[in-house]
Amino acid sequence: MPHLDALRGAAILLVLVEHFGGQGLNALIPIGAGSLGVHLFFVLSGFLITGQLLDAFHGNRPGPLSTKLKHFYLRRCLRLLPVYYVTLFFLAVFGIGGIDESWPWHVAYLSNMYAYWGGQLSVFWTLAVEEQFYLVWPLLIMITPFRRLALLCLGAIVLTSLFKIAWLVLDWRNPYGYTLLISNLDLLGMGGLLAVLSFNGQSNDFSWFNQRRTAIGFAILGLGGMATAITLWLIHGGGTVRYLTLHPTTSVFYGWLVILAANGLPGWLGTIASFGPLRYIGRISYGIYVIHNFLPHILEKPEVVALTGPLSRLEMGMIVIPLSFILPALSWHLMERPIQRLKDRIGDQPDDRAAAGSAPERLRA
């Protein structure tokens, strides 16, 4: 399913637009390009990881549950920690982003509980959300009977809505209403729900979705909900309306898109999603996300300015944007991919099994 890689590529490009696109380009996406990209990552993660967990705990894979759980956590560590901790090490060495004060929070994957708004380190909040999800979700999938897993996912979705309503009623004014795990469980839970609906002894059985009425219903909910929410935002502005409607609309829309991509996007969408460079960007998207936000700050350090002289915004962009792809590509080929080969030897099966029976290497989370 290479089209899922293309969705990852689209998601990271949206994040780059938010951070590097400037006011002019970002004005074209009033919803927030970065938010749209992060939401797509969350729905994808919920879908892929839940599919892997279903194969392990509710499929025909032999072995004790405790061993499968241990293998899952070990594979997650090998996939996520090396790039992240190497990045933290270099940030600490070069004193970038005020990490001297906050490094314990980032090392412990608690960035979403420390601070979010402003600064280069703000991007780490989403990584903390995903890591916390990876710690809790496998236990819930393991102990919940399969017939109740859909209710578990729906419960996660509803829990986020109830939390946000309570947040507004209690008038709590801090960024944690956006950055806590519970604030984003609806996106992750939607991905999980799609994985549960697509599980029939093994992951990725999409026969339920391929019925015309179901596909049309998802399309109406996704596209119609997004159009309605955008109209409300344009009329009433951001604030409360956006806070309560953005996640439900993007989760349904992206859920529809993920299932389409898992089946193979049709027509011109499929042509775009099959574009090799876009798929490659999706493959290295984790490294891009971890690294990109610090590059402008490095070029602004006095030691660097002494060598290069003051750089204009255009000159800065001509350096930062290529490096945002070159450095993650090097990270992928020199560190992440070799570690991933080691990771895939752990346990009985490769990681995400993005296609029934054998997942292409580039799609393993």
Residue linked to tokens 């949206």: 14
Confidence of residue 182 (pLDDT cuts 50, 70, 90): very high
What Cα–Cα distance (Å) separates residue 179 from each residue in 13, 119, 164, 166, 257? 21, 15, 12, 15, 24
Q: Which residues contact 317 (CB under 8 A, 6 or more apart)?
A: 20
Confidence of residue 365 (pLDDT cuts 50, 70, 90): low
As a whole number of angstroms, the distance between CA 327 and CA 329 comes to: 5
Which one, of 16, 45, 52, lies nearest residue 129 by Cα? 45
Contact 156, 186 (CB under 8 A): yes
Q: Which residues contact 326 (CB under 8 A, 6 or more apart)?
A: none
Contact 281, 325 (CB under 8 A): yes
Specify the range with the lowest mean pLDDT, choosing from 7-11, 120-124, 206-210, 247-251: 206-210
pLDDT of 189 reads 97
pLDDT of 87 reads 95
Confidence of residue 44 (pLDDT cuts 50, 70, 90): very high
Is the pLDDT confidence value at 289 over 90?
yes
Q: Which residues contact 288 (CB under 8 A, 6 or more apart)?
A: 12, 16, 281, 324, 325, 328
As a whole number of angstroms, the distance between CA 61 and CA 68 comes to: 9
Contact 137, 184 (CB under 8 A): no
Contact 291, 331 (CB under 8 A): yes
What's 205's DSSP letter?
-
Which one, of 349, 283, 336, lies nearest residue 72 by Cα? 349
Is the pLDDT confidence value at 354 over 50?
no
The ranges assigned to domains in the chain are 2-363
